[in-house]
Structure 1
Amino acid sequence: MGLDKLFQLRRYNTDVRTEIIAGVTTFMTMAYILFLNPNILSATGMDKNAVFFATAVSAGLVTLAMGLLVNYPIALAPGMGLNAYFATVAAQHVGMPWQVALGAVFISGVIFIILTISQVRQLLVVAVPDSLKRSIIVGIGLFITMLGLKMSEFMVIKAGPAIPPTLDALSRPGGIATLRFFEWNIFLGSLASPVTLLSLAGLAVTALLMAKGVKGAILLGIIITTLLGIPLGVTQVPPDFRPFALPDFNRLAVGSLDLAGALHMGLWAVIFTFTFVELFDTFGTLVGTAGKAGLLEENGQSRRLGRAMLVDACGVAFGALMGTSTVTAYIESTAGIAEGGRTGLTAVTTGVLFLLSLVLAPIAGLIPGAATAPALIIVGMLMAQAAREINFADFTEGFPAFLTMILMPFTGSIANGIAAGIVFYVLLKAASGRAREVHWLMWILAVLVVARYIFLAEH
């Protein structure tokens, strides 16, 4: 009776059993982030156990807040795409310290909270055209895929002379081919490498599970690939291994963010990227999942949608305090909704499972990069599906979207893709006599982007 009153189960024509099953389903479909996020962020020099702790705690508590404060069946966790971007800008020995990157995430969260409370966030969502929103999702998907290809050693990038693109077949002993592009030598991996072989096997297993519609296919793929890596020598199991134990609390990254370092003027582009990408990623996920659950009114709005956005914004800052990249709403929540989840009890169930998963820290430490690389490639493909919603027949819509998509992976910067998309969208609309189609806020964004590259360019 208490749960029914708290979550209004009767109003939404559901029951405790249905909600709990939905919450477990949501957890199964997104639990892969527990193993994927530590592998991605460890490239910055962060301790894998510390990232695992931050991932589980931030996902658990923020998802609980979504369920208890908003009564939405939506789960949150460190988002794919922005964790890859975080790892890129804070790459060990070549990027900014990871503490500074965490500071940038926290500041973006504070900005996000201000934008949400002031309702500027809603205005920005209206201002940016759908074609650019979709292309940002696709571009991040390609960006993630590139990371997966590198982790799997399907693609090995080494510095080289700037020469025209050529493809020299079988030019590397033991390799398949060498692609020379700009200042990179990109080697396609060899099956003689255990890492490449394991990644290929993992990709095949995960793809088959996805094709068969198995729930939790990505998570199962990671587990199976990790087990296959034991005889190959890729998965290293210590002699005193215990599968269940809490993470080492002496090496956590809680409160390790460097706000002073993040406030340096040269990092505003990084802060802008975290904020801008999260802005549209979350809005699309919240509206899409709430709509599928039948929680929106006829005008596509909901009184609780604003509260959901605020919880999400606070989650960004909270995740940075815990020691992880941007926390965001997960589209995998639709898996639980498909099972009948309609209230916050679904989210509460998922949040509790994330907190309980803290005891899986030793297992998370076993997962090799070769086991998570296939998951990145699969997730990249899922995100790339947004391309079908872009109107490429209209050049003023298609070309800015195209630039947004390709510049993210090819320049290794999500910010570059977003910037090019904004500027060319405004430019082409104005040049073709369709300036009235451009929201006034897009003009301001275009000016800010150009000013950033002129006056704040990295040298």
Structure 2
Amino acid sequence: MDKFFKLKEFGTNIRTEIMAGVTTFMTMAYILAVNPAILSGSGLNSYSIFLATALAAGIFTLAMGLFVNFPVALAPGMGLNAFFATTVVASKATDHPITPSMGLAAVFISGIIFLILTVTKVRQLLVVAVPDSLKHAITVGIGLFITIIGLKTSGLLTISLDPFARGFEQGKYTDLTGNETVLHLGDLTQPGVWLTVVGLFLIGVLMVLRVRGAILIGIVVTTLIGAIPGVDVVDFGSLKGQSWTPNFRELNFWDFDFADLLSTGLLSAIATFTFVELFDTFGTLVGTANRAGFLKNKEEGNKRIGKAMLVDSVAVSGGAMLGTSTMTAFVESSAGIAEGGRTGLTSSTTGVLFLLSLFLAPIALIVPTPATSAALIIVGVLMMQAVKEIDFADLVVAIPAFLTIALMPFTYNIANGISFGIVSYVLLASVSSWFGKKKYSVHWLMWILFVLVIARYLFIGSQG
């Protein structure tokens, strides 16, 4: 094992690596409960999603450890799973509704595109082309998008569209401060709503105290509270008679429908899956590699990141084959690296734990919506931290970044935020360079993206 993972070369040992792998698993195991909760909203079966999540995370995290010797774990990405369930499958772009099978086909194709972009090294070029401000804004926007979903599913936030629409029809544009607003605070007397609040503050306290696995522990404790008589959000009695052996016949393996890819607006979805995953994975891999000290030798570090990108690309299509949304490298892997993880033994340990979790399906699926909603809100907090990297004093940077951030949650669509960010940046940076005092560099690939975005709205429409 020492020879295979080069433990001595990286200044580590078996005990440290295994403990680091356990730490990484603890910090990201919440995905086993949260992913089924999100994707079941698209019409997929919760148990099937759990199987796909555990299998995909286990298999491809093991691949990262065994073939790349890299201490990074993979699982279905937060934000992209929400995009899949609330935007892609919910699309009303045409008379042909997008089914979950079509959505999985879009994810599969995005993985193939991702693999081609990685092999041809276009992927690295795209990362250079898009300005850092937009990359950070995408992260923040997705964080707010996830937060809105958490607030909405928990009942802590209610949305009322009709009063607002009636006001505009009648020419009443100003009365948005009373009861006729679009967004309302939920009914705090409802057990599910206040249980979300309890879970939210519980996870927050654990994170402030720097407790490892704070999100997972918070979900578990919130679930236990939900079973208290009088609350009755959780029924542990339903565990009786449940099978603890995974039933792989329930897996949505190769459940694809490639029909009507163009007419249903899936072309836009494929582009969004590819675009978001592109920067999400790149940022995670570079950040974790830097924290582990791999980039001190740039040539060797870049080789390992390149191999990791290949595994990640295959994981996207592989995860879709198993029946889950886009797989991605998890930033929570940095927790294991902070514990001393430096080799693939760390990620291999995490992968094995995900595979063992296949025998815990009844427990994962009994987790109530308030517990997963609280976790979603906290994940939004973590993603929001990237806002500090954006220079809002520079309007050429600030306006595109703000549009990216604002349009994702308020239009309930990640693609809209990215699209408006790209178009506004190219326009403002070009105008400033041509007529203003400050010059900005606009990569030629940004102009191609600019044209593609404009064409997307002209020919597919706003809901595509």
- Check whether TM > 0.5: yes
Counterpart of 2:459 in structure 1 is 455
Task: Mark the runs of 5 or more structure 2 residues left unpaired by the alignment.
Answer: none
In structure 1, distance between residues paired with 2:403 and 2:426: 13
Partner residue, 1:228: 225
Distance 2:355 2:255 in 1: 21
On the 8 A contact 1:101/1:262 being kept in 2, the answer is no
Answering whether residue 198 of structure 2 is matched by residue 201 of structure 1, we say yes
- 1:299 positional shift: 4.4
Output aligned runs, 1:22-421, within 5 Å: 22-90=20-88, 96-160=98-162, 161-162=164-165, 163=168, 164=173, 166-169=175-178, 171=179, 179-180=181-182, 186-231=183-228, 232-239=231-238, 241=240, 245-262=244-261, 264=263, 266-299=265-298, 301-421=301-421
- What TM-score does the superposition give when structure 2 sets the normalisation length? 0.92
Offset at 1:220?
0.6
Task: Measure the CA separation in 1 of the matches of 2:38 and 2:175.
Answer: 30
Cα distance 1:100–1:438, how it changes in 2: closer, same or farther (>3 A)? same
What is the one-letter code of the residue matched to 1:18? Answer: T
Please, which moves more after superposition, 68-77 or 223-232?
Answer: 223-232
Of stretches 312-321 and 195-204 in structure 1, the one that deviates more from structure 2 is: 195-204
Aligned residue pairs: how many?
Answer: 445
1:82 deviates by 0.4
Deviation at 1:157, TM superposition (A): 2.0
Shift of 1:194: 1.2
| CA RMSD, Structure 1 to Structure 2 (Å) | 1.8
Q: CA offsets, 1:88-125, max 9 Å, x none?
A: 12557976211111111001001000000010000000
- CA distances 1:254-273 after superposition (whole Å, capped 9, x unpaired): 11122234454621111111
Q: Among the aligned pairs, what percent are the same residue?
A: 56
- The AA in structure 1 aligned to 2:255 is S
Separation in 2, partners of 1:15, 1:416: 47
Counterpart Cα distance in 1 of 2:243 and 2:330: 26
Counterpart of 1:20 in structure 2 is 18
Aligned residue identity for 1:64: L
Structure 2 counterpart SS, 1:340? coil
> 1:426·1:435 contact (CA, 8 Å) conserved in 2?
no
TM-score, with structure 1 as normaliser: 0.93
Distance 1:93 1:443 in 2: 27
Match of 2:328, SS state, is: strand
Aligned-residue offset at 1:244: 7.2
1:314-371 deviation per Cα after TM superposition (whole angstroms, max 9, x unaligned): 0000000000000000000010000100000000000000000001100011011111
Which stretch shows the higher mean deviation, 262-271 or 124-133?
262-271
- The structural deviation recorded for 1:296 is 1.6
**CA distance 1:240–1:288, shift in 2 (3 Å):** closer
Is the 2:156–2:188 contact (alpha carbons within 8 Å) kept by the matching residues of 1?
Answer: no
Amino acid in structure 2 at the alignment position of 1:279 = L
User: SS of the residue aligned with 1:77?
Assistant: strand
Does the CA-based 8 Å contact 1:198-1:371 persist in structure 2?
yes
- Kindly provide the CA deviation profile for residues 127-178 of structure 1, in whole angstroms up to 9, marking residues without a partner as x: 0000000000000000000000001101122431423364455x4xxxxxx6
Alpha carbons of 1:244 and 1:333: their partners in 2 closer, same or farther (altered >3 Å)?
farther
CA distance in 2, matches of 1:127, 1:446: 12
